[in-house]
Amino acid sequence: MAGVVERRSIDVVPDDERHGSAFSQFTLWLGANLQITAVVTGALAVVFGANAFWSLIGLLLGNLAGGAVMALHSAQGPRLGLPQMITSRAQFGVRGAVIPLALVIVMYIGFFASGSVLAGQAVGELTHLGETPGIIVFAAVTALAAAVGYRLIHTLGRIAGLVCALTFVYLGVRLLQRADLGTLLADHRFALPAFLLAVSLSASWQLAFGPYVADYSRYLPRHTSARATFWWTLSGSVLGSQWSMTFGVLAAAAAPAAFVGHEVGYLVGLGGTGLIASLLYFVIALGKLTINILNTYGGFMSLVTSVSGFRGQRTLSPRGRSAYIAGIMLAGTAVALLGKDSFLTSFKDFLLFLLTFFTPWSAVNLVDYYLISKERYDVPALSDPAGRYGAWNVTALAVYALGVLAQLPFLATAFYTGPLVDRLGGADVSWLVGLVVPAVLYWLTARRDTARVARPAVPDDEHGANAPAGTGG
């Protein structure tokens, strides 16, 4: 197990431990998206007012737009060899990065909880233990796999991608045996608010991967093409999510009463009974296991990054790693058990809430990395509050806050609706504002701060193995 269990956490992955190819990003993100929560996300577009025809188009546009942003984050991994959120220190400061990090941790716990509710139903049926024990068993398996780490995560992604793809083909055939596709797509009436909700649902789905996507590309060899990493990540994530969401749209349009609120039971009942039903429960749990491991692993990374910003910690012991992972598991399981009876409405509001806070973070991070720093970071300074990036970057934090506030007039959720939403016919365009406003503001303010930009690196030893490209003195 010594070669399987991961030793790295937030420290740089040295060249002699790099492995794999960019294609691994396709298989991982295909497997992560071919799962029941993505099905539910697609169904929400129909549940909240859009017809199937425009839901599919809106979801595709959102997946492409959000997926492109997410894949740009993924391309940072091979270049830097670092987990995603630690690079936020270059924008917000070594300690200032804890502010977006705190929200990221909330995201991981929320997605862990929502995934555990659906997977717990499947595990409970498969084991005959019931829903609550099923949630607990699923959470424990997730935590164990996350503790093993990177190699197991990619292996599960490949297995889940193949198994879930075959299952969705089978379920799609079964669905179309019960419902006529032409009839489901016959209604072409366009309603802008419902269409934009579909775009926002899928865009938020993709953007929520941004804070941890580079965690799973950082072990790729440094010479891995950024373009290849981008396109394989984008294609895997968009194909998997659009496939799942399309199934959700058609299922919700074909049988809304049978599907909504009974998602797991509907999928299994669609497939068959007996052994087939048991296999489908297993596949549902397997699909959710992949993404829940990503959420647990990402939460662990974010917690370590937050704490180390104040403690100066660069490495983590196996015991400490297990403790962080256990904390994420316990918090996510508690939320799952408390919220399992109001899952669907809560999940929609949760997705839109996430979008409000993570579009400004993505905008700032990507503008800084690609336009300001030109893909060069001073890696040692990312752990030094007295170094190049400082402890707190008040300007960047102010831009981030303005990016969040700028969205409020355009935001439409169950607990808050902005004053401009009615003028737009009820449409929520907050995520577009959340990308554009902070991107422009950060570029205008950061391009003058040349002291924070690292010079091109020169290897500091004859082998260059421990001098990551993109660092500078």
* Residue 84 placed within a domain: yes
| CATH number for the domain that contains residue 213 | 1.10.4160.10
pLDDT at 72 > cutoff 70 = yes
The answer to whether the CB of 225 falls within 8 A of the CB of 86 is no
Of the chain, the end-to-end C-alpha distance in Å amounts to 38
* Residue 82 placed within a domain: yes
Residue 3, pLDDT score: 57
Residue 233, pLDDT score: 97
* Residue 161 placed within a domain: yes
Better-scored residue on pLDDT, 241 or 339: 241
**Of 79, 28, 4, 95, which Cα lies nearest the Cα of 239?**
28
pLDDT at 12 > cutoff 60 = yes
* Residue 449 placed within a domain: no
User: Mean pLDDT, to the nearest integer, of 349-366?
Assistant: 81
pLDDT at 287 > cutoff 90 = no
How far apart CA 322 and CA 107 sit, in angstroms, is: 20
- DSSP 8-state assignment for residue 128: T
- DSSP 8-state assignment for residue 462: S
pLDDT > 90 fraction of the chain, expressed in percent and rounded: 29
Q: Which domain holds residue 120?
A: 20-361
pLDDT at 283 > cutoff 90 = no
Better-scored residue on pLDDT, 408 or 425: 408
pLDDT in tens, 109-155: 877 887 788 778 788 888 888 888 888 888 888 888 888 777 888 88
Residue 457, pLDDT score: 47
30 band by pLDDT with thresholds 50, 70 and 90: very high
* Residue 134 placed within a domain: yes
* Residue 83 placed within a domain: yes
pLDDT at 92 > cutoff 90 = yes
The predicted model scores a pTM of 0.85
The tally of domains found in the chain comes to 1
Better-scored residue on pLDDT, 262 or 166: 166
In this structure, how many other beta carbons lie within 10 angstroms of the beta carbon of residue 385?
A: 17
* Residue 102 placed within a domain: yes
The DSSP-derived string for 403-454 is HHHHHGGG-B-SS-B-TTTGGGTT---HHHHHHHHHHHHHHHHHTT-GGGSP
pLDDT in tens, 201-257: 898 889 888 888 888 898 899 999 999 999 999 999 999 999 999 999 999 898 877
* Residue 312 placed within a domain: yes
Residue 155, pLDDT score: 87
